[in-house]
Structure 1
Amino acid sequence: MQYYNKYLYQTMRILSIVILGQTLFFKYSGAKESVYIFQSLGMEPWGRIGTAILETVAILLLMFPNFVWLGAGIVINLMLGAILSHIVFLGIAVNGDGGLLFILAIIVFISSLYLGYCDFYKSPLLRIISKNR
């Protein structure tokens, strides 16, 4: 049984993949904005590269219907870290971007929450828990 709007679901999925994908270039290439952000957090270069690898894995998982729940879970955690980093350490606007990175993180976070909610019933962990009851 389908509990969600399939068009909204696919839109959120594509939106998350596109936004995450475009930021990967900057992280892998060592663009000055990415380097500045991770230096400010005291995580350059290992934090930048590690985040890029996790985002790459999440994008790949979001591309496969059976693993969207897992990709969404990874993205939720990554974006929560990004949002909190902006609020606590970096500020909303970084290097005069007008808060664009912060807004994109919120959009991807909300999209991933929706994807995770829609696919929660597919989770193998949920199946294991429900069988034990």
Structure 2
Amino acid sequence: MKSPIFLWIVKLTAVVILIQTLFFKFTGAEESVYIFSKLGIEPFGRIGSGVVELIASVLILIPRTTLLGALLGLGTMTGAIVSHLFVLGIIVQHDGGTLFALALITFGCCLILVYRQRDKIPDVLRFKW
């Protein structure tokens, strides 16, 4: 699948999900505070993860930095998924598993983006001043 339309749909899906959670994280919404309190990292974890997700979103949208943003998103979503599986539970405050599902979808989108640009991974790992 080399369709640029498909890749933009994948990018936009990941970015929309990442961006829509920022409002809740940055305004201290009750569910967000609950989640990060249960993880023992409120408020720094909530705000920090919001900043990381914002950076990942911007990087995903810029073609030259898509791989870096997708790797950042993949790492962030791995943390979210692990948190759901081992601390929070799949259903958080009667959400029907929506947050968990969104984390899985975002993880999947980022994984597709990383896979599509896997040949560029060595370039990302080479750090030059």
Aligned: 1:109 with 2:111? no
1:26-65 map, 5 Å: 26-65=24-63
How far the C-alpha of 1:6 sits from its partner, in A, is 1.9
Of the three residues 77, 80, 86, the one matched with 2:78 is: 80
Give the Cα separation in 1 of the matches to 2:104 and 2:124. Answer: 27
Give the Cα separation in 2 of the matches to 1:23 and 1:44. Answer: 16
* One-letter amino acid matched to 2:80: A
The 8 Å contact of residues 73 and 110 in structure 2, kept in 1 or not, is answered as yes
Structure exhibiting the larger radius of gyration computed from Cα positions: 1
Deviations 1:44-80 (A, max 9, x none): 0000011001001101101100000000000000000
1:90-101 map, 5 Å: 90-101=88-99
Cα RMSD over matched residues? 1.3
User: With structure 2 as the length reference, what TM-score do the two structures score?
Assistant: 0.92
Give the Cα separation in 2 of the matches to 1:39 and 1:95. Answer: 13
2:66 alignment counterpart: 68
How far the C-alpha of 1:33 sits from its partner, in A, is 0.4
Of the three residues 96, 117, 120, the one matched with 1:119 is: 117
Give the Cα separation in 1 of the matches to 2:74 and 2:28. Answer: 24
Q: Percent identity?
A: 45
How far the C-alpha of 1:122 sits from its partner, in A, is 3.0
The 8 Å contact of residues 68 and 124 in structure 2, kept in 1 or not, is answered as no
User: With structure 1 as the length reference, what TM-score do the two structures score?
Assistant: 0.90
Give the Cα separation in 1 of the matches to 2:38 and 2:44. Answer: 13
Gaps of 5+ in 1: 129-133
Give the Cα separation in 2 of the matches to 1:14 and 1:116. Answer: 15
Deviations 1:83-124 (A, max 9, x none): 010000000000000000000000000000000111222342
